[in-house]
Every structure is written in C-alpha cells, then in structure tokens.
Amino acid sequence: MSKWRLWLPFVAMSINCCGWGTAWAGEFDRFDGEVYVQRESGPLKADLYIPRGEGPFPGVLVVHGGAWYTGTRAQLAGVCQQLAEHGFAAVAISYRLAPKHQFPAQIEDCKEAVRWMRSNAQRLKINAPAIGGFGYSAGAHLVALLGTSDAKSGMEGPDVAADEPSTRLQAVVGGGTPCDFRTVPLDTEKLSFWLGGSRRQQAERYRLASPAAFISADDPPMFFFHGEFDRLVPMVGPQAMCRELKAVGVPAELYIVPQVGHLLAAMNQQVIDKSIAFLGKQLRTGDEP
C-alpha cells in the first residue's frame, strides 16, 4: 500500500478534529446534502454555505482531500464557514472515489459541480462569472486541474452539450498540491488504484491527470500553500508549476508554511486568511458586496 493510502485517512480525520469543523457565528445560511448530479452509482451531493443578503456573491467550489479514495465534503466545513462569513458562496462537494471509480471520474464530477453552480447561480446567489476553487491535497490537485484544463482537454464528462456553462475557474487556491504525474517513476504501482496502472502502462492517463500539462496563458491566477516539511507531497510540484504559470503571464504564488508537514499546513489559520484574501482580490468587483 502506498504512503498516500496509509496517511490520508488520518489527515481527513484530523482536519475535522482540530478546529476546521467547529461552528462559527456568521451571517450565512447552510444547506446540507443538495444533489448536484445523478450518476449511475448514485447521487452526488453538495453542502452550501450562502451569505445572507441580496448578493450575488463570488462562488467558491471547495474540494476535499483524501488521496482520491477517501474523505468527505464535511472535511473542509470550517473553511466553508469562513468563506461564507467573508461574503463568498461556498459549495463543498462529494465526488466519486477510487478504486471503484478511477480517473477521470473525479475531475468530471468537479466540472459538473461548476456547471451546476453556474446553472443555479440565481438561486444560490452566486455571481456566475466569478467562481474560484479551494482544495487541499487531492482536492487541491482537482481544483488546479480545473484551473488549467478546458473543453479541449477531453475531461468535461460524457454527453455534455456544447451550450453547457463553462467549467473554467477565475481563481484557484491549492494546499499541498500534487501538480505533475508525468514525473512519477515509470514502473511504480502506487497510483494504480486511481490511474489504472503504472505510468508505463497508462502514460496518457498520467498526463491527463497533471495540472501542469495544460498550463496556458488564459489560466486563472493561482495561490499555492505548502508545508515546509511536507514529505507526502513534494514541494517541487507547486514550485515548478508557479514558474511555468508565471512564464506564460499567469499570476501565481507559493506560500511556504514554516516548520510544518502535510497535515499541519492544512490547519494553519494564517494561510486560510491569506487564501481568503487572495480569492477576494481575484473574484470581487467594485459592484459586489
């Protein structure tokens, strides 16, 4: 079993137990368990954190971690609450998990969630042209891939009509982000549960799963944060991605959370404050609350 699969259930549990899942007083309404898409395996649901007031508010898709095979949408409840307190309509989603559902099921579900947010923007009080993404670990990978991929990438999902709303994001925040699977050793099997084999066997799937493979000048601004001592997800991934984004003119920043590893970086309040400030700068216009 790979180190991803050994550690991530502990990560998911610990985030809930160490403060992110606690209640916050704020002017927002919470609606749990709204179905955003029906799959053959069953409905996929979202928890909504909608600020009180007329709106519209910038939207943030919130995607949990768990190595693509575990975790729940409640994992980042505290982040969603803080986003709503700061005037963002936060949508935390469930998505199909490996090994039963291998890639690209996860990114297809995330893209469907963005379409759903835009299709229901009036009811959800979301400013449809201003939607960002926030994710940690596997969730950060998925929002980064949302940020760089588009309809030409071939991962929009089956039977998606040409006139469906765009899945492009306007800002991305990712913590502990896996960015490029094209560098995984050719014959390692550690990601087979999710990508269907080694990189030698599934080279195209490893490429499609790599946010860095789709970098282009029209990508949204991105803010990455990473624990200084993260031994689970190498920091070289977001470091290289920031360089490549900047090279094509896309604003990108990496904040290194000092003296912590993968788990504790996820629970650092300062970096959550920085993330919310970044999303506000990128998603708000002068006409919004």
**246: domain CATH number?**
3.40.50.1820
Residue 37, SS3 per DSSP:
strand
Could you tell me if residue 288 is inside a domain? no
Cα–Cα separations (whole angstroms), residue 208 to 73, 182, 212: 24, 9, 10
Band (pLDDT 50/70/90 cuts) for residue 20 is very low
Band (pLDDT 50/70/90 cuts) for residue 11 is very low
Number of structural domains in the chain: 1
51's enclosing H/E stretch is strand 42-51
Does 275 score more than 50 pLDDT? Answer: yes
CA 155 remoteness from chain centre? 16
* Structure tokens given for 258: 């000092």
Mean pLDDT of the region 67-74: 97
Pairing between β-strand 89-93 and β-strand 42-51 as defined by DSSP bridges: antiparallel
Could you tell me if residue 35 is inside a domain? yes
Could you tell me if residue 289 is inside a domain? no
End-to-end CA separation in angstroms for the chain: 48
Range of the domain at 276: 3-156+164-283
Has this prediction a pTM greater than 0.85? Answer: yes
Could you tell me if residue 200 is inside a domain? yes
Could you tell me if residue 64 is inside a domain? yes
Highest mean pLDDT among 12-26, 144-158, 178-192: 178-192
User: Of 254, 251, 246, 245, nearest to 227 (Cα)?
Assistant: 254
Could you tell me if residue 54 is inside a domain? yes
Could you tell me if residue 29 is inside a domain? yes
Could you tell me if residue 128 is inside a domain? yes
Can you give the pLDDT at residue 26?
58
User: Of 181, 163, 55, 47, nearest to 107 (Cα)?
Assistant: 181
Concatenating the DSSP letter of every residue in 251-274 gives -EEEEEETT--HHHHTT-HHHHHH
Does 2 score more than 60 pLDDT? Answer: no
Is there a contact between 65 and 136 (Cβ–Cβ < 8 Å)?
Answer: yes
Q: What is the mean pLDDT of the chain?
A: 90
- Alpha-carbon distance of 50 to 151, in angstroms, equals 29
Does 12 score more than 80 pLDDT? Answer: no
Does 178 score more than 90 pLDDT? Answer: yes
Mean pLDDT of the region 22-26: 42
